[in-house]
Amino acid sequence: MIEDVARLSLLSRVILGYLVVAQFQLNHSTKKMKIKSLLKSLLKKVVSPVEVNQNLTNLVCNTDLALTRLANLGFKPNHIFDIGAYQGDFAKSCIDLWPDTKVACFEVIPHKVSELKKLASSKSSIQVFSTLLGANCHDEFPFYQLESDAETASSVLNTQLAFKSPPQYYPMSTVDEIVKNHFAGHSPDLLKIDVQGYELEVLKGTENTLNQIQVILAEINLLDIYKDAPLLAELIAWLDARNWVTYDICSFWRRPLDQALWQSDFIFVQRDSFLRANKNYSLLE
């Protein structure tokens, strides 16, 4: 924000200087073509109010804004996997943005599964799967469900915190198996993964479908508060080896202890994605 204000202040001085020159040239009967050339040069240096507003918006990290930018660039998913759907807020946002999309929600916390099924009964575009997702299929797999306000931090991985939560056991599948058995081999266009440190294991279960996915939105850990949670570099390296690159950063979560950055939501796309095709810097190029 401060940099943008400073930039606008500098631009106002540039504009004033050019106007002074323009007035001088007009007073000395400069040819019209020179004035036209001068104004054209000025316009290339000035940021329009629309662009200024866009620049200020771009300073905000927000998942909804990031998805809206994707939509404005022509991304229109037919099918979305919402892994770690909780109570369906992300699914609802996607349906608001893309009314024709279908969303498969994955959640195992029992009362949240009930909420999702209630939501699905009123929105035919939502389908609910009560299963964990990971790198392999299991009949039962431990899941550490936290209570009350900490419920959204529930995970397959246990935390390193002083308090412990006994594991509950749920079935685990993979993205590949779900796509094969429930969607006739059609991969989701958008894969959203928010599973508190287990994101890389979920990605490992996409080996047969990864190339058909267009966008991945995944929560990334920078601190290993969860035991054995892969950190930023490891997840990016795994995706990079499969020709995926970081496209956007949507949110930051800091731990209360010392405000150290704990988690962040990243958007990844394939290296040759149409979203990266334009290599220009601004609309003026």
Q: What is the predicted pLDDT for the residue at 108?
A: 97
* DSSP string for 109-169: -HHHHHHHHHHHHH-TTEEEE--EE-SS-EEEEEEEPPPGGGGGG-BSSPB-SSS--PEEE
Lookup result for tokens 């998942």: 63
What is the residue-averaged pLDDT of the chain?
Answer: 85
Q: Write the single-letter amino acid at 15.
A: I
Gap between the Cα atoms of 89 and 24, Å rounded: 59
Q: Pairing relation of β-strands 79-83 and 190-193?
A: parallel
**Residues in the chain, overall count:** 285
Q: Pairing relation of β-strands 167-173 and 132-133?
A: parallel
pLDDT tens, residue by residue, 38-91: 544 544 444 454 444 455 455 557 999 999 999 999 999 999 999 999 999 999
Res. 285 pLDDT band, cuts 50 70 90: low
Q: Write the single-letter amino acid at 119.
A: L
Is residue 139 over pLDDT 80?
Answer: yes
Q: What is the predicted pLDDT for the residue at 283?
A: 78
Gap between the Cα atoms of 261 and 215, Å rounded: 24
60-276 maps to which CATH number?
3.40.50.150
Q: What is the predicted pLDDT for the residue at 96?
A: 97
pLDDT tens, residue by residue, 149-182: 778 889 999 887 656 678 999 999 999 999 999 9
Q: Does pTM surpass 0.85?
A: no
Q: What is the predicted pLDDT for the residue at 193?
A: 98
Gap between the Cα atoms of 159 and 143, Å rounded: 11
Residue 206 neighbours by CB under 8 Å, 6+ apart: 174, 175, 176, 191, 213
Is the distance from CB of 168 to CB of 143 less than 8 angstroms? yes
Q: What is the predicted pLDDT for the residue at 163?
A: 61
pLDDT tens, residue by residue, 200-255: 999 999 999 999 999 999 999 999 999 999 999 999 999 999 999 999 999 999 99
Is the distance from CB of 246 to CB of 216 less than 8 angstroms? no
